[in-house]
Structure 1
Amino acid sequence: MKAKRMIIMLAGSAIVFGGVFGFVAFKNHMIKQFFATMPKPVISVTTAKAQMVDWRVVVPAVGTLQAVNGVDISGSVAGLVKAISFESGQDVKRGQVLVQLDTDVEMGDLRSAQAELGLAKTSHDRNMKLVRSDTVSVAALEKTEAELKVKQAKVGGLQAQIAKKTIAAPFDGRLGVRKIDLGQYVQPGQMVVNLQDLSLMLCDFTVSQKDLSLLGIGQTVRMTTDAWPGVTFEGQVAAIEPLVDAKTGMVSVQARFPNAEGRLRPGMFARIEIERPAGAPVVTVPGSAVAYNLHGDAVFVVKEEAGADGKTVSKAERVVVSLGERKDGLVVIKSGVAAGDVVVTSGQVKLEHGSLIHVAASDPLKTAAAGTVQ
């Protein structure tokens, strides 16, 4: 009796569990069939063609501008400022007098020395005439000649000292802000005014030693500054430091830039671009087409296939690519994509290998953004 009950219980359990497992299997089958027969969504994307271009790579650098000639003008002797012959910001010529220091004491000493020089010259001339008649000795003549030279040297020294009291412009240029006042007593080396020759600007920058072979004297250099956005200044490489910095591996370079309009100023920071020689044509795609991944960079290439209804459909195929250099929004493709291939430039987030796509006339993100701007 007990055995019969056990058999009935086992049979009932088998029927129940069998029904459950059967239902689960049936459900999974129907789910798989649903997804297998469900039509794949068509994703809207934008595309661009991979193009073969003559790729010119630039060596970027950041530099600082300085004038071809620039100096803080100062006096070499002390003195009282007697006259100031310039205005702040004035353009001056070489040799133009800027400041005159008081020379009253030196002029008095000079007049005294000149009188002594005249007396010594007269005495020497007299002895030269008398030595011919043996009235005076040769030794007396030599003594007066030595005294004459001493007086000449004294006059020359005073004249040089007086000349130092006149401060003049050492070259053509533009003055800065005046640092002294009339009647002020200035010390040797005290700054009077800054002078900069703005006709030609120099830009000092550094490049990596790996780019040293790409540089040459006279090579074209392009420069942009924050002070003049959108304006590109062209110059030439003027000097390359022969010594490579052992600590950084960098090489110092100096470029010259004409500055006839005076827009560039010393001390400005500048962005430098040195063009490398043009190499072989390369395949490029927009930078937005590349999906960067640790397992390999890839792009989605558009392929045209015949659909089930005979109509042509567009699919996106994921292709792993090898990338090169980047510039102006473009990326060099070393392998994986050929010139003429159509690549997806937006909408890749929703794509997978083999996804159906619809090529939009424009970037939907840009269109939406433009529509929000009033």
Structure 2
Amino acid sequence: MKILVLGSGAREHAIVSALAREDTAHEIVAAPGNAGIAQVATVVHLDPNNAVVVADYALAEDVDLVVIGPEAPLVAGVADGLRTRGVPVFGPSKKAAALEGSKAFAKRIMEEAGVPTGRATRAGTRAEVEAALDSFGAPYVVKADGLAAGKGVLVTEDRAAALAHADHYLQQGTVLLEEFLAGQEVSLFFLSDGSTVLPLSPAQDYKRLLDGDEGPNTGGMGAYSPLPWLPDGFVDEVIDTIAEPTVRQLANEQTPFIGLLYCGLILTEKGIRVIEFNARFGDPETQVVLPRLETPLSGLLLAAATGSLGGIPRPTFSDDVAVTVVLASEGYPDAPQTGRRIDGLDDAAAVEGVSIAHAATSRSESPDGGTIATGGRVLSVVGRGSDFRQARERAYEAVSRIRLEGAQYRTDIAARVVAE
């Protein structure tokens, strides 16, 4: 197949890499891509958020399947522009992508579908925020209603900080105040063709910047998969109580969800609860889930895009484990320093069991070439092994070989699961 992958991050690099390693050779194109993606796919410079431009390109170049990676093109309706012109696309419509684009919409869908989640109140004024904070009590959970690049959620014991966070996002619209849920968090992806769902392997990510879950929220500083501590029957329970009811509810509202349903879950004392839905592969969880995938990814994505997931067996995964450590620029997440050179990538990739997914990189225009950092989260360094200790050691050995001035990363990714 000729496959166009939209996006420029480590998630898209992981998707491209999974497609490229299949036994069947595909022609893979990425837009706009990055320095790492350019090593395994053709990179074209077009605006992934412009539905007309993307559809024109896909038709002119006889693209068989378009895979939308980030949330912004989904919320912009790029999938709609492709579908109306007959191009198979993996990614939900603009209306269905509101499951991620609007926390309030997601809460309504969960309520209608009977999906277990925490109590929430929508607020549009400072007074409403204050009343909700007092009602729920500490720890306070404040969420931006719209997209916020993974940084719109604040969980804090500090009421003043909660109010400041709400004030910031009230300038853009409404906010959600939610009850605090305690427990282990789980990310579980589902492929959906609008009626059938198929699960991928669970993962856990680390949102806070610093070790010990300290510091500000980020887009994700690391992840691991699988989760050996999950109870038996966990995935089936999520299918029965969360994924299928959600997809059915959207279908009943004439808003079929076609693409990747990301379930952000938490295991509380009262059972599984939904923290949030996303409408695309998660980052950095994709970097540890897809390397373990044994079923060809291209067939799964095309089946979802064409409404033919029914009857397809559940995807299978390697018994290996994977750990990814995100290398971020100095100043991330508030004011990342960009334009700095990255060295040691070949040495890092030479570590056994290691692969590197580029997140925000480009080729330097200087005479000696090289790779430079262009954003906050720069690289996802993935270690695979027969157990968590080996995978983790490989990932951190590779990280130690990479040189980026001011780079920061967590040192405790998967440390707990190794200790246990």
Compute the TM-score of the two structures, normalised by the length of structure 1: 0.18
**Greater relative contact order structure (CA < 8 Å, 6+ sep):** 1
More strand by share: 1
Compute the TM-score of the two structures, normalised by the length of structure 2: 0.17
